[in-house]
Amino acid sequence: MKRFLALLLAASMSLALVACGGTKTPSSSGSSASSGGSSGGSSASSGSTTPENLTETQKIIQQAQTMTLEELAQKAIEESNGKTFYGVGNSSRGKSALPLFIEYLQTIDPNYNMEFDWQQPKNNKIFDQLTADSLKDTGTFAMTLIQDGNQIESKMVQTGILDTFIPKDWADANGTTAEEYEGYLPLQTLNKIFMYNNTGSKTYDNCWDFVAEGEHALFMDIDSEIVGKNFLYMLTRDDYAAWLKEAFEALPAEEQAYFQPTITAMESEAADLGLGADGAYALAWIKLWVESYNAQTDDGPICNTLVDKSATDQFGLLVYSKLRSVEESASVSKNNITVAAYNDGYTGIGGFGYCHYLFVTDNSPLPWTACAFIAYMTCTADGFSAWGKDIGGYSSNPAVAAENEEIYHHQTGGMAEDGTTVEFAALNDAGYDWWTTDGKLVLEDPQYCASVSFSVGSWIEMLTKYSAG
């Protein structure tokens, strides 16, 4: 019965994907998906880009993609002077970036003025809010900064609610063009990484150590933050499943013996779900992880727990940047933390990377200003500065990323006010290029997540979560 159900789920998902193929293109750059970062990520199928199929906002985007930031700024000044700009996002820092954008426009026209309102819906309500706003002829929100590639793909892009705009300056910096680029526009890639309290004798030198008998990771529950579920989806993709197999094969024989029965049991499940040759390793790791992690409500409390010397031998998977806000005390120190992937000889996945994406709403009341604001955030260090201070957050523009590193010195642990280096080993961010190669960061691919969210997602829902009580 279980086999039949799995086959039915997979078949249903395939039919759903076929049905999505005829939707309208979100912009002239195509409706493709990206894992973020400066490489552009993987692509999804795009619809027709002929002018007669474009909405009015998409026609503006098509023009805007040929213009520099300075040219877009002139258009924004003409469009929004004296008006109010409404934005919505998963990150509250859009509220910090908007006044900087206004100041930039005022360097061009000192008489320019614009009011703004930035909203940050809680509990994943941003999708409902954007969907409701899309029903208006002219919406309230001009643009959005949004995460969770799976829901973006299925609920926002395929439905035509959000349009991708690729700034010319951003494309130039990445050695591409709006027409050639396949993907959404990422503001940044953020990483969640494995880290552990090092005040005891225990070490973690393989990603399978985190799902070993008796281990309970501190992790934000997958039903609280959906990108965590995307992490699990991505593990089933062939390349990441192969990483898990390689890590398993690097384990001592006695440790392999503990995991092997679960891997063997998952072979039929992997076949039913249509996964690749190494799919059983991915499902085994996912099963052991879901059935062992200690669910938390937020990454902040996880970090606060792990940095205390009383948290001996505890570990978690959490946003890297949380470490920067830790204040040193007699019992609390960033030196109590070890980033697992930085250990010599560590084997396997080091964490998960996901993006904050930028979109123009298809019924945007201020599309030119939205495009200019997006270009400002992705093409200038000042525009990115609201996010730039954080380790583990990487601008998708290589020029901005390099300038940001010159300002904040993330790879040397940051700088003190007197200019001296502050030495906390855990804060020495190895950078995007390292994390996505040697660090084996699993990158979110919106299209892949959407393609398995029903099949693999339904399988995950049948797992029994660990209860700390």
Distances (CA, A) of 42 to 36, 183, 434: 9, 7, 19
* Phi, psi of 467, deg, nearest 5: -120, 115
In CATH terms, the superfamily for domain 189-353+437-461 is Periplasmic binding protein-like II (3.40.190.10)
Residue 412: its pLDDT value, please? 83
Neighbours of 156 (CB within 10 A): 27
Contact, 58 vs 28, CB < 8 A?
yes
Show me where the domains of the chain are located. 24-188+354-412, 189-353+437-461
DSSP-H helix ranges across 21-135: 56-64, 69-80, 94-108, 126-134
Residue 11: its pLDDT value, please? 40
Nearest to 41 by CA among 164, 168, 207, 195: 164
Name residue 89's beta-bridge partners. 145
Q: How far apart are CA 121 and CA 88, in angstroms?
A: 8
* Residues sharing a CB contact under 8 Å with residue 206, sequence separation 6 or more, in sequence order: 247, 250, 251, 346, 347, 348
- The structure's pTM equals 0.87
Q: How far apart are CA 202 and CA 196, in angstroms?
A: 9
- Residue corresponding to tokens 């937020």: 298
Residue 18: its pLDDT value, please? 31
Amino acid identity, position 262:
T
- Please calculate the CA angle 20-22-23 and round it to the nearest 5 degrees: 75
Q: For residue 468, with 0-12 CB atoms within 10 Å meaning exposed, 13-18 middle and 19 or more buried, which class applies?
A: exposed
Residue 351: its pLDDT value, please? 98
Residue 226: its pLDDT value, please? 87
Task: Tell me what the mean pLDDT of segment 155-175 comes to.
Answer: 97
Domain at 24-188+354-412, CATH from 1.10.8.50, 3.20.20.70, 3.40.190.10, 1.10.287.310:
3.40.190.10
Tell me the pLDDT tens digit for each residue of 340-379. 999 999 999 999 999 999 999 999 999 999 999 999 999 9
**Length of the chain in terms of residues written:** 469
pLDDT tier for residue 51 given thresholds of 50, 70 and 90: low
pLDDT tier for residue 313 given thresholds of 50, 70 and 90: very high
Tell me the pLDDT tens digit for each residue of 236-268. 999 999 999 999 999 999 999 999 999 999 999
User: 24-188+354-412 with 189-353+437-461: one CATH topology?
Assistant: yes
Q: Is 254 helix (H, G, I), strand (E, B) or coil?
A: helix
Q: How far apart are CA 143 and CA 371, in angstroms?
A: 8
* Residues sharing a CB contact under 8 Å with residue 109, sequence separation 6 or more, in sequence order: 77, 81
- What sign has the CA pseudo-torsion 373, 180, 394, 243? positive
Name residue 186's beta-bridge partners. 357
